[in-house]
Chain A
Amino acid sequence: MPKAAMKRPHDESCSLLEIRKLRIEATSYSPGGDPQNTVIVDDVSLKLEKGRVLGLIGESGAGKSTIGLASMGYGRGGVRITGGEVLLNGRNILARGVQGLRKVRGNKVCYVAQSAAAAFNPALRLMEQVIESALLHRIATRAEAETRAIALFKKLGLPNPETIGRRYPHQVSGGQLQRVMTAMALCSEPDLIVFDEPTTALDVTTQIDVLAAIKDAIRDTGVAALYITHDLSVVAQVSDEIMVLRHGKMVEHGETRQIIEAPRTEYTKALVSVRSIEHQEKRPAACPVLEVRNITAAYGGHVKVLQEVSIEVHPGQTLAVVGESGSGKSTLARAITGLLPPTSGMITFAGRTLTPRLAERSTDDLRELQLIYQMADVAMNPRQTVGTIIGRPLEFYFGMRGRERDHRVAELLDEIEMGKGFVDRYPAELSGGQKQRVCIARALAARPKLIICDEVTSALDPLVADGILKLLLRLQKIEDVAYLFITHDLATVKAIADSIAVMYQGRVVRYGSKTEVLTPPFDAYTDLLLSSVPEMELGWLESAIKGRRMASGGN
């Protein structure tokens, strides 16, 4: 292999990657104010030996992606590396200028992005993109590179490895694209690959396959890797050691086993024990608040996305609807709210029959059925203050004005554990968790009987999501509101549900109280879904793959 021969003798004596006292800053320009300097990464050092995998873990804003990209000398969106050294094979890549960095990128170090669907150029065939860096850095001829790419496609378990390269990104599923991206990174035979949340955007059932493929590829090629994720149970499956980061600083660094079995710092302990909410399941009431009978719905008149779906939600209780993307769970919410009128079936809400179409519903029907979305920031008008946002339903439904409304807004803010100081703030000044809390308060302002929560914690960090779940449970006790909780995350389901509906390809495949649904014997799909949720124990991945009865979708 020509690359090994080119290596200089002193390379053998030092680590593959060594980061010394890395400091990264960004300048943010707020309108009107002076430019603000923020330190994103502060005094982080790490060492990575050949063939080892280091997991970087932390919440959003911890600086883990920034550190990963710094190993390629890259700063995303105006981020600057202002201090420290990044030594690759003993040489500081930061001192080599743009030309030098270009020789490192795609050659010695490759990158696998979070969303492969966005990271591939939609206008080029996959093969062109996979072999691009190998050709650019003259590592292989076109024929050699294509042969190698096909071998990698095969190794990563992609269907039709000979011909998949001729496809365009949109012709391949998300899980497959993520594997093609891994092949792209491996194609130029780098020394190091930076995996930046490679499975976060995937369904659990797909994540497990991609995770296994990545792990095998790392083992077989002997490449070293930085594996960045916010999910400790995922990183526990692939890495040899783990570094915990918070606010750009290192919190703890150790062997994987030590981090998950015997964490030393409080923060790591909190990460390890996350989702430990105990929720006692309630017995169903005599009369449900929402009853959905045999609903069928279709897009464009013929693509059936819901088939004969029947569920019940009881007053003051939570029904969790779980399933992977495309299973029809959000469509169910659209059908109940009238955004997508069902073609057949009946919806009864609080003793009244709901009309299929939203436009024909009475104000009370609208008021008593509220919706909270996954993306809190796009569900709020960025030019309205928190007070205006929460006050709007008070004015609209109850005709409250002036002091009466302000008083109620203050009460609601208290309920969501956000003090008075927030009334005059704009959404842009809030964190992700705070934004979601404001959305919850806005829904509560209407005094609803039922709130549909569509993946409300999916975009949040685990600890923040935990806070939201606890808040929702507490509010349910105070306001006696029912939740229809749509999620793909089974840990959330266990934490919050009284009953569960499992959806698959537009149908409810399993339905009942939480205990009934989560107790064996399982149907094949529920089994696949439950067994795919990563658990925080070493060797889980291998045993889970071995024990599966049904292949996941997208293969």
Chain B
Amino acid sequence: MRLSTMSPIVRLITQRITLGILLLFLVSILIFAGTQILPGDVSQAILGQSATPEALANLRAELGLNDPAYIRYFRWLGGVLTGDLGTALTSRQEITATLLPRLWNTLFLAFCAATVAVPLAIILGLLAVRYRNGVIDKLISGFALTSTSLPEFFIGYLLVYFFAVKLQWLPGISTVYVGMPFLERMEAIALPATVLTLVVLAHMMRMTRAAILNVMQSAYIETAELKGLRQIEIIRRHAFPNAIAPVINVVMLNLAFLIVGVVVVEVIFVYPGMGQYLVDHVSKRDVPVVQAVGLIFAAVYIGLNIIADVAAIIANPRLRHPK
């Protein structure tokens, strides 16, 4: 089917997804090029300073390092597309095998934080609009801004101090393992999930509030008021559906942060996720792992942004129901 013959909504969505995939390829080139520019030699790194020149040359040939850069890029890309992210230099293990459980841990933590943070932020945003410029609005904004202004390591240690050390309700170290019972797992991640929730809450809440307040200026809000509807009904039924696109956008940005930006929180709580894995291998200069994690983070970021774009397109009645 030619692009011009599709319905506008299908065309727009196809466009966004194609652009997203294209962008991901560009990012993969950037990541590959970036790691090539770095000084040092992989075979030297593997064999160490004392290696003989013959051993180095042999290993280079074995790893294919003598091939031109673009051939090595396509070899790497081909591996990525077939699920093979390469081998870690330090541990000599398959990256895919080590990375998958950690990715799952990170996603689980992010998912738990999001299921609390997103509805909470939207409800608080709606309430802030309902009682705008009043005490409730100021309390909500004050609380949210305070929690965002404090660095996440500070909130993290504060929570550890009170809930793990003083009250001893929750563990201060979030150890999880495969086959761990669900409730125990929830208990283990309660503190890091709380920290993440507090960190992303304010941004989403403030944006929800601003987006709805913007819509509240519209003439159709006056129409709704003149029908005799209650304020909260007006906000829920008439304002929120028209503010959904900017809200989805900011929610997706924050979800991306929950996955990509958890490094500090994972380190504080010694949580076996992607962030810790990345930090460990950056300090060990393990280039293939850094490449792999970088690519996954980029994919998450681009993917969530595509979802935000597509959702905003679908939320627009003008595109959903063309003339």
Bound complex: CA A94 to CA B220 (Å) = 23
Shortest B244–chain A CB gap in Å is 8
A526: chain B residues within 8 A (beta carbon)? none
**Chain A residues bordering chain B, tally (CB within 8 A):** 31
Contact residue among A76, A110, A118, A121 (Cβ-Cβ distance under 8 Å from B238): A121
Contact B227 A120 (CB under 8 A): no
A105: chain B residues within 8 A (beta carbon)? 225-228
Contact A122 B225 (CB under 8 A): no
Contact residue among A103, A119, A167, A170 (Cβ-Cβ distance under 8 Å from B223): A119
A132 within 8 A of B: yes
Contact B226 A110 (CB under 8 A): yes
A106: chain B residues within 8 A (beta carbon)? 226-229
Bound complex: CA A76 to CA B323 (Å) = 33
Contact B223 A136 (CB under 8 A): no
Contact A122 B318 (CB under 8 A): yes
B170 within 8 A of A: no
Bound complex: CA A461 to CA B303 (Å) = 53
Shortest B245–chain A CB gap in Å is 11
Kindly name the residue among B224, B227, B238, B241 whose own CB sees the greatest number of chain A CB atoms within 10 A.
B227
Who on chain A is nearest to B230 by CB? A102
Bound complex: CA A106 to CA B220 (Å) = 14
Bound complex: CA A503 to CA B169 (Å) = 79
B238: chain A residues within 8 A (beta carbon)? 121, 124
Contact residue among B222, B223, B241, B321 (Cβ-Cβ distance under 8 Å from A76): B222
Within 8 A of A (CB), among B227-242: 227-230, 237-238, 241-242
Contact residue among A111, A119, A120, A123 (Cβ-Cβ distance under 8 Å from B241): A123
A122: chain B residues within 8 A (beta carbon)? 220, 242, 317-318
B219 within 8 A of A: yes
Bound complex: CA A137 to CA B228 (Å) = 8
A235 within 8 A of B: no
A103: chain B residues within 8 A (beta carbon)? 228
A182 within 8 A of B: no
Within 8 A of A (CB), among B204-225: 218-220, 222-225
Contact A133 B317 (CB under 8 A): no
Contact A119 B228 (CB under 8 A): no
Within 8 A of B (CB), among A115-148: 115, 118-124, 129, 132-133, 136-137
Contact B228 A118 (CB under 8 A): no
A540 within 8 A of B: no
Bound complex: CA A105 to CA B224 (Å) = 10
B219: chain A residues within 8 A (beta carbon)? 113, 115, 118-119
Who on chain B is nearest to A170 by CB? B318
Bound complex: CA A133 to CA B223 (Å) = 10
Bound complex: CA A120 to CA B323 (Å) = 16
A511 within 8 A of B: no
B317: chain A residues within 8 A (beta carbon)? 122-123, 168, 170
A76: chain B residues within 8 A (beta carbon)? 222
Contact B226 A74 (CB under 8 A): yes
Contact A120 B228 (CB under 8 A): no
A199 within 8 A of B: no
Shortest B296–chain A CB gap in Å is 36
Bound complex: CA A322 to CA B222 (Å) = 34
A107 within 8 A of B: yes
Bound complex: CA A103 to CA B242 (Å) = 26
A541 within 8 A of B: no
B218: chain A residues within 8 A (beta carbon)? 118
A121: chain B residues within 8 A (beta carbon)? 220, 223-224, 238, 241-242
Number of chain B interface residues as a range: 20 to 34
A171 within 8 A of B: yes
A72 within 8 A of B: yes
A72: chain B residues within 8 A (beta carbon)? 226
A465 within 8 A of B: no
Bound complex: CA A382 to CA B154 (Å) = 46
A104 within 8 A of B: yes
A123: chain B residues within 8 A (beta carbon)? 241-242, 317
Bound complex: CA A120 to CA B219 (Å) = 8
Contact residue among A69, A136, A170, A171 (Cβ-Cβ distance under 8 Å from B228): A136
Contact A74 B225 (CB under 8 A): yes
B296-323 to A contact mask, C-beta < 8 Å, 1/0: 0000000000000000000001100101
Who on chain B is nearest to A173 by CB? B323
Bound complex: CA A184 to CA B271 (Å) = 58
Contact A119 B222 (CB under 8 A): yes
Kindly name the residue among B218, B219, B238 whose own CB sees the greatest number of chain A CB atoms within 10 A.
B219
Within 8 A of A (CB), among B149-191: none
Bound complex: CA A107 to CA B228 (Å) = 8
Who on chain B is nearest to A128 by CB? B237
Shortest B221–chain A CB gap in Å is 8
Within 8 A of B (CB), among A251-297: none
Shortest B255–chain A CB gap in Å is 24
Within 8 A of A (CB), among B110-132: none
Bound complex: CA A522 to CA B234 (Å) = 51
Bound complex: CA A111 to CA B222 (Å) = 10
B224: chain A residues within 8 A (beta carbon)? 121, 132
Bound complex: CA A110 to CA B224 (Å) = 11
B229: chain A residues within 8 A (beta carbon)? 102, 106, 132, 136
Bound complex: CA A122 to CA B321 (Å) = 11
A91-114 to B contact mask, C-beta < 8 Å, 1/0: 000000000011111110011010
Shortest A439–chain B CB gap in Å is 27
Contact B321 A171 (CB under 8 A): yes
B230: chain A residues within 8 A (beta carbon)? 102
Shortest B318–chain A CB gap in Å is 5
Shortest B217–chain A CB gap in Å is 10
Who on chain B is nearest to A194 by CB? B226
A69: chain B residues within 8 A (beta carbon)? 226
Contact residue among A124, A136, A167, A170 (Cβ-Cβ distance under 8 Å from B227): A136
Who on chain B is nearest to A115 by CB? B219
Q: A170-B323, A171-B323 are in contact. Are A133 and B242 (CB under 8 A)?
A: no
B242: chain A residues within 8 A (beta carbon)? 121-123
Bound complex: CA A103 to CA B220 (Å) = 19
B223: chain A residues within 8 A (beta carbon)? 111, 113, 119-121, 129
Who on chain B is nearest to A72 by CB? B226
A104: chain B residues within 8 A (beta carbon)? 228
Shortest A300–chain B CB gap in Å is 11
B228: chain A residues within 8 A (beta carbon)? 101-107, 133, 136-137
B241: chain A residues within 8 A (beta carbon)? 121, 123-124
Shortest A178–chain B CB gap in Å is 13
Kindly name the residue among A72, A118, A122, A123 whose own CB sees the greatest number of chain B CB atoms within 10 A.
A123
Contact B222 A132 (CB under 8 A): no
Identify 17 residue pairs between A and B in the complex whose beta-carbon atoms are under 8 Å apart, listed by A's number. Answer: A69-B226, A74-B225, A76-B222, A102-B229, A105-B226, A111-B223, A111-B226, A113-B222, A113-B223, A120-B220, A121-B238, A123-B242, A124-B241, A129-B223, A133-B228, A136-B227, A136-B228
Q: Which residues from chain B sit less than 8 Å from chain A, CB to CB?
A: 218-220, 222-230, 237-238, 241-242, 317-318, 321, 323
Kindly list the 4 A-B residue pairs having the minimum CB-CB distance in the complex, ordered from nearest.
A106-B227, A118-B219, A105-B228, A123-B241
